[in-house]
A and B are shown apart, each in its own frame.
Chain A
């Protein structure tokens, strides 16, 4: 693979990893998915960037057809689709989590077992016994 292609692949990989970090940081991608995707991208970039490793993988695989560019594009498309789907799953999971947490907090705040708060009209919850 020409060195310009290797540089391009490494740059694209770095950009995708930075994007994944940003998604995880903003809680739009679950950290577990992020770890797996970053590992896959790093492994892919490593294989494509180091010719002996790429040759070894090609030999081991033995199934690389005569359209590597197309395969690469397909793989890139699949990775992006997976990131998008996992991001959507994370969004849904986060909304559900938030809902469960808010319900728990509201129910707990609405039913204080709080003797001092009930006596004083204090809105804060408490578990103090008298």
Chain B
């Protein structure tokens, strides 16, 4: 992607919360495999040594003074990208599961496809949710079905943390309430007339830490995302065509 001012400015943003064991390797991997992109770490109020490690690594870090949650960290990344006039934003998880070596290929797909959001999808190739815990698998199937039913577009990995977002949708998303930048955002963006696509990626096994979803938050997640998904769909349809 190029702009009238030259090559596109692309930002890689990595939300991080108490990931002292993986954050250095993630930063090193992004620097190695995606050196032409800028990098910002969104430290979401970590209470361990994450902040000190990021300082030592001399990486640009936007630090939340308290923990706001994954969705708000992504929103901070979008606002940062918008404020600094980036053309695209790539989000990546800090737990080491995403492979930064996929980023360049994914970005090439993003450029070629001319889409507004490209999802690095774990499931689009095989369309099977293997090696995923039962509750999570059910949730993924449910939200994939909800997005498909509402928008008419099948999205197989609604909860992937590896996404590329075009600046065209920065304004749409910067002020919007969302839970975790998952089905609720995808439905809203597609229903608003923007293009979303998936491109296959592989993920590494998680070696440290645990999922950000506890049993309670997983149960809480379901109605909240369902509520926002439905609301976003209705709103997007009502607003479509209006200036």
Contacts and interface: CB of A to CB of B under 8 A. Distances in A.
Interface of A: 21, 24-25, 27, 30-32, 34-35, 38-39, 97, 100-101, 103-105, 107-109, 111-114, 123-129
Contact of A34 (B68, B79, B175, B227): B227
15 contacts: A27-B176, A31-B177, A31-B224, A35-B223, A35-B227, A39-B223, A100-B64, A100-B65, A104-B64, A104-B76, A112-B60, A113-B58, A123-B84, A127-B39, A129-B35
**Range, interface on chain B:** 35 or more
Contacts of B99: none
B214 to A, nearest CB: 15
Interface string B35-71: 1101110110000000000000011111111101000
What are the 7 closest A-B residue pairs judged by CB atoms, nearest first? A127-B39, A108-B62, A104-B62, A126-B38, A35-B223, A27-B177, A101-B76
A34 B36 CA distance: 43
Contacts, number: 93
A75 to B, nearest CB: 22
A129 B59 CA distance: 10
Interface string B76-87: 100110011110
Interface in B134-187: 175-177, 179
Given A125-B38, A127-B39, A127-B40, A97 B58 contact: no
A27 to B, nearest CB: 5
Contacts of B227: 24, 31, 34-35, 38
A32 B36 CA distance: 40
Residue among A31, A38, A101 with the highest chain B CB neighbour number at 10 A: A101
A105 B80 contact: yes
A129 B31 contact: yes
B121 interface: no
B220 A108 contact: no
B65 A125 contact: no
Contacts of B38: 114, 124-128
Contacts of B104: none
A32 to B, nearest CB: 6
Contacts of A97: 68, 72
B192 interface: no
B231 interface: yes
Contact of B42 (A104, A113, A129): A104
